[in-house]
Amino acid sequence: MGKFEVYKDKRGEFRFRLKASNGQNILASEGYSSKKGCENGIASVQKNCKDDKCFDRLKAKNGKPFFNLKSTNGQVIGSSQQYASTSTMENGIKSVKNNAPGASIVEV
């Protein structure tokens, strides 16, 4: 089962990353000013990851595919790494859909 890791970055902002059961990072958040805001972001991931329309499939400037997960109001709540191919990106999206709903939350 996957897990959300909550941590404070160098600027003092709270962030989360979703890790798959194999330990690989599959989604990372932007910074939040409060821990409560970060926890709300995790809840939004768990809610919105079930809807494929919430995933924006994009290409970076270098041409590599990646995705953003958006809430229903259109705000980005998490971003993936860049992938080598579209098929590996789609596997990343499947991993978010499979891992996020039941993922535990740990502070690191």
Over residues 42-69, the mean pLDDT reads: 97
Question: Average per-residue pLDDT in the chain?
Answer: 96
**Residue 80, pLDDT above cutoff 90:** yes
Q: Residue 102's pLDDT is what? A: 94
Place of tokens 């979703």: 18
Closest CA to 93 of 48, 37, 60, 41: 48
Task: Supply the DSSP string of 45-87, one letter for each residue.
Answer: HHHHTT-GGGEEEEE-TTS-EEEEEE-TTS-EEEE----SSHH
Task: Supply the DSSP string of 13-48, one letter for each residue.
Answer: -EEEEEE-TTS-EEEE---BSSHHHHHHHHHHHHHH
Q: Residue 13's pLDDT is what? A: 97
Type and span of the H or E element at 93: helix 86-99
